[in-house]
Chain A
């Protein structure tokens, strides 16, 4: 394809086909069965569901009336595998292979929606309600995720059907690079990868700082390393073309003709779909030489990471693309001046890019009308941990934690009490219940000692020990510290040793003070973002949960009952039936007692392994 007319022709052809999926309707027509093919649902068996669907559709002889489409993530990962049937918008959750024959026979062949297998919340007295009216989706506003779970990510025509590549056409046909940069600046878009640097500013610097550069680069950070964060992966799996389009727009804006996407090797589905997307875009002439008949050239290559968290840091990422150990280097010079291969380079993360085409098409004011004063637009969060609706949510900036956890997330399972939400991964901190009503944006989170990070939001309940969580994150950073600078390499190690001492009940009050001092030292002196933020989990838990640290140190007690060395196991003589199961399983021979009489744990011999609790059928053993 060489011209805009051809692009528009594909859009017009595909538009109705795709748009029907945004709003359910009663309109009769061809059935479209959308099955989630994201990592979560694939892990719970969605590939087999698709196979079975096709088999049953064939059997019922309705092949020409039904189209099965594998999409990206719908967001509600806890209910996977997920399947949704249009035009009705019937939402089937936790679909099992053996349910497929009935669903195909009754619904797709017979035209009767059987509510039995539908997601309960969508079933009403008079039929079914749209997914958009459920608690999980109601408060969401999807910009970056707007095509995820809607289009087939492996078909470029479906993307074009949602106005895909129109923004690229608009910038190269109608706008100057300066106008593009000004639009992004006016929109107030800030980097979604962690730091929150204004995206337009980054582009402006890269355009102007080295006026006579012979080569510039556009990079995409898809090295989503925060454990518990999977927003970027879902965008790549569900809507890979949006990233390609945005990178080409960025290339036009700063004057670059080559892009690199640095993606984690742990994301095989995302890599596969990116490869397909790049191939299709090249075939259509949307990537390559002379795009849309202009003299603008742009191409994109993939580079795979190899499991190093530090490579999410911008200078380390570029060093890694060059084929070296992914160690960061001091800034300045910033990448906008000297980046990849020493050339001016911009690096934005996946979610940031996913916003760009919409900003170009809908205008900067539209984007700036969402969010708070200094944080515009929406943010995608990966909800995980102790929460009912684990999955992916996109909400306007300024939504409160309470809305996200209680309304969208459906609260904490098993009637437990909310203790804290962790944001920002190993660089962030814990937000306790007292800040439940703080509107989430970049600046508010920093003010309460956490950070936006890339958007992982892990909920913890009363059974999680905050000292243990701090230790968990420090173990991560010690593992992932690249070793180049001393404050990070040695400092985090010492920090972990002190935490370890505390969780074993050997800590002193001086240790807590020493730890705090060391935290500030590491923050002030480390070379890159990894080290500068590594102490945050410790500092924020110290700030909000100091009493837990003190309980570990002074009372030698872990209030949440997690730190094994501090636990004491006891058998309730009233509940114990004397079945001897615990005594037999105890590896230390610490449980004494004869058959049919209550047993007793010898605390000197007890190894605190917890094997007895698992074995006891009567709930007679407790840990404190």
Chain B
């Protein structure tokens, strides 16, 4: 579970806020609207800082603690911004038995960050994920929307170099 206040100062723009309010307006009266609103809010801001949660609370009438409860429950909601390049290593079973754990550890070593962290220049963030469903290509990692499959630890340097 993350901390309430993000370590990086909130830098939302008025345009983002306008978009967010439009999203809230279009869903507000639906049953079970909180999840779709949070999902779209995360698309707008890239993460869900407490400032955004407060806007949603004020507009929907849900108490902030309920919203915070939902945000911290689901793995896909982030309280901290992600890196410019999100590296996600699949630790699903098929990838794991083919050595994705070694690949994950190698990235931790190379990037000097823990899983869930972001490099200090904001370039790379690293996380483990559970099965993206490309088991035929195991082991697999993704960098933003690019998928790299049939990996060995030796491929890591080349992949990182592409984004440096």
Q: Are A303 and B35 in contact (CB under 8 A)?
A: yes
| 25 interchain pairs, CB-CB under 8 A | A39-B132, A40-B133, A40-B134, A43-B132, A77-B135, A227-B96, A230-B135, A306-B35, A306-B38, A306-B74, A306-B76, A308-B73, A308-B74, A309-B130, A320-B35, A321-B35, A325-B70, A326-B74, A341-B31, A384-B93, A384-B136, A385-B98, A386-B98, A422-B93, A469-B97
Q: Are B134 and A43 in contact (CB under 8 A)?
A: yes
Per-residue CB proximity of B124-151 to A under 8 Å, as 1/0?
0000011111111110100000010100
Q: Which residues of A contact B154 (CB under 8 A)?
A: 614
Q: Does A482 contact B (CB under 8 A)?
A: yes
Q: A225-B130, A303-B32, A324-B70 are in contact. Are A425 and B93 (CB under 8 A)?
A: yes
Q: Are A40 and B39 in contact (CB under 8 A)?
A: no
With the chains together, A422 CA to B96 CA distance in Å? Answer: 13
Q: Does B153 contact A (CB under 8 A)?
A: yes
Q: Which residues of A contact B39 (CB under 8 A)?
A: 265, 304, 306
**Beta-carbon contacts under 8 Å, A293-348 to B:** 303-309, 320-327, 341
Q: Which residues of A contact B38 (CB under 8 A)?
A: 306
Q: Which of A40, A228, A267, A321 has the most CB of B within 10 A?
A: A228
CB < 8 Å neighbour of A266 from B31, B94, B129, B135: B129
Q: Are B133 and A384 in contact (CB under 8 A)?
A: no
Q: A304-B39, A385-B94 are in contact. Are A40 and B135 (CB under 8 A)?
A: yes
Inter-chain pairs besides A40-B134, A464-B97, 19 sampled, C-beta below 8 Å: A40-B136, A40-B137, A42-B147, A43-B134, A44-B149, A78-B136, A229-B131, A230-B131, A303-B32, A306-B38, A306-B76, A307-B75, A321-B35, A325-B73, A382-B94, A385-B93, A390-B94, A422-B93, A614-B154
Q: Does B49 contact A (CB under 8 A)?
A: no
Q: Which residue of A lies closest to B96 (CB)?
A: A472
Q: Are A323 and B133 in contact (CB under 8 A)?
A: no
Q: Which residue of A lies closest to B97 (CB)?
A: A385
Q: Which residues of A contact B94 (CB under 8 A)?
A: 227-228, 382, 384-385, 390, 456, 458
**Beta-carbon contacts under 8 Å, A445-490 to B:** 456, 458, 460, 464, 469, 472-473, 476, 482
Q: Are B137 and A77 in contact (CB under 8 A)?
A: yes
**Beta-carbon contacts under 8 Å, B42-72 to A:** 66, 69-70
Q: A228-B94, A266-B129, A385-B97 are in contact. Are A390 and B77 (CB under 8 A)?
A: no
Q: A303-B32, A306-B76, A614-B153 are in contact. Are A391 and B133 (CB under 8 A)?
A: no
Q: Are A227 and B137 in contact (CB under 8 A)?
A: no
Q: Are A227 and B93 in contact (CB under 8 A)?
A: yes
Q: Which residue of B lies closest to A45 (CB)?
A: B147
Query: Measured between C-beta atoms, what is the minimum distance from A600 to chain B in Å?
Result: 25
Q: Which residues of A contact B32 (CB under 8 A)?
A: 303, 321-323
Q: Which residue of A lies closest to B37 (CB)?
A: A323
Q: Which residues of A contact B66 (CB under 8 A)?
A: 324
Q: Which residues of A contact B98 (CB under 8 A)?
A: 385-386
CB < 8 Å neighbour of A390 from B31, B36, B69, B135: B135
Per-residue CB proximity of B87-128 to A under 8 Å, as 1/0?
000011110111000000000000000000000000000000
With the chains together, A472 CA to B130 CA distance in Å? Answer: 12
Q: Are A43 and B140 in contact (CB under 8 A)?
A: yes
Q: Are B33 and A39 in contact (CB under 8 A)?
A: no
Q: Which residues of B contact A614 (CB under 8 A)?
A: 153-154
Query: Measured between C-beta atoms, what is the minimum distance from B36 to chain A in Å?
Result: 7
Q: Does B34 contact A (CB under 8 A)?
A: yes
Q: A residues engaging B (CB < 8 A)?
A: 39-40, 42-44, 77-78, 80, 225-230, 233, 265-267, 303-309, 320-327, 341, 382, 384-386, 390-391, 422, 425, 456, 458, 460, 464, 469, 472-473, 476, 482, 614
Q: Are B149 and A43 in contact (CB under 8 A)?
A: yes
Q: Are B140 and A306 in contact (CB under 8 A)?
A: no
Q: A308-B75, A384-B94, A456-B93 are in contact. Are A228 and B131 (CB under 8 A)?
A: yes
Query: Measured between C-beta atoms, what is the minimum distance from B102 to chain A in Å?
Result: 8
The 4 closest A-B pairs by CB, nearest first: A77-B136, A384-B94, A227-B92, A307-B75
Q: Are A227 and B131 in contact (CB under 8 A)?
A: yes
With the chains together, A143 CA to B80 CA distance in Å? Answer: 45
Q: How large is the interface on B (under 10, 10 to 19, 20 to 34, 35 or more residues)?
A: 35 or more
CB < 8 Å neighbour of A227 from B69, B75, B91: B91
Q: B residues engaging A (CB < 8 A)?
A: 31-36, 38-39, 66, 69-70, 73-77, 91-94, 96-98, 129-138, 140, 147, 149, 153-154
CB < 8 Å neighbour of A323 from B70, B77, B131, B137: B70
Q: Which residues of A contact B75 (CB under 8 A)?
A: 306-308
With the chains together, A321 CA to B33 CA distance in Å? Answer: 9
Query: Measured between C-beta atoms, what is the minimum distance from B27 to chain A in Å?
Result: 10
Q: Are A306 and B77 in contact (CB under 8 A)?
A: yes
Q: Which of A325, A326, A614 has the most CB of B within 10 A?
A: A325
Q: Which residue of B lies closest to A322 (CB)?
A: B32
Q: Which residues of B contact A422 (CB under 8 A)?
A: 93
With the chains together, A233 CA to B135 CA distance in Å? Answer: 12
Q: Which residue of B lies closest to A325 (CB)?
A: B73
Q: Which residue of B lies closest to A232 (CB)?
A: B133
With the chains together, A322 CA to B132 CA distance in Å? Answer: 25
Query: Measured between C-beta atoms, what is the minimum distance from A477 to chain B in Å?
Result: 11
With the chains together, A464 CA to B69 CA distance in Å? Answer: 38
With the chains together, A472 CA to B69 CA distance in Å? Answer: 27
Q: Which of B70, B76, B91, B93 has the most CB of A within 10 A?
A: B93
Query: Measured between C-beta atoms, what is the minimum distance from B97 to chain A in Å?
Result: 5
Q: A43-B149, A306-B76, A614-B153 are in contact. Are A391 and B130 (CB under 8 A)?
A: no
With the chains together, A326 CA to B69 CA distance in Å? Answer: 10
With the chains together, A460 CA to B36 CA distance in Å? Answer: 39
Query: Measured between C-beta atoms, what is the minimum distance from A484 to chain B in Å?
Result: 11
With the chains together, A482 CA to B75 CA distance in Å? Answer: 11
Q: Which residues of A contact B135 (CB under 8 A)?
A: 40, 77, 228, 230, 382, 384, 390
Q: Which of A39, A230, A266, A306 has the most CB of B within 10 A?
A: A306
Q: Are A266 and B133 in contact (CB under 8 A)?
A: yes
Q: Which residues of B contact A482 (CB under 8 A)?
A: 73
Q: Which residues of B contact A321 (CB under 8 A)?
A: 32, 35
Q: Which residue of B lies closest to A610 (CB)?
A: B102
Q: Which residues of A contact B76 (CB under 8 A)?
A: 265, 306-307
Q: Are A44 and B35 in contact (CB under 8 A)?
A: no
With the chains together, A187 CA to B107 CA distance in Å? Answer: 51
Q: Which of B76, B134, B138 has the most CB of A within 10 A?
A: B134
Q: Which residue of B lies closest to A266 (CB)?
A: B132
Q: Which of B31, B75, B149, B153 has the most CB of A within 10 A?
A: B75
CB < 8 Å neighbour of B31 from A77, A309, A322: A322
With the chains together, A384 CA to B92 CA distance in Å? Answer: 10
Q: Are B73 and A472 in contact (CB under 8 A)?
A: no
Query: Measured between C-beta atoms, what is the minimum distance from A225 to chain B in Å?
Result: 7
Q: Which residue of B lies closest to A482 (CB)?
A: B73
Q: Are A230 and B130 in contact (CB under 8 A)?
A: no
Q: Which residue of B lies closest to A80 (CB)?
A: B136
Q: Which residues of A contact B136 (CB under 8 A)?
A: 40, 77-78, 80, 384, 390-391
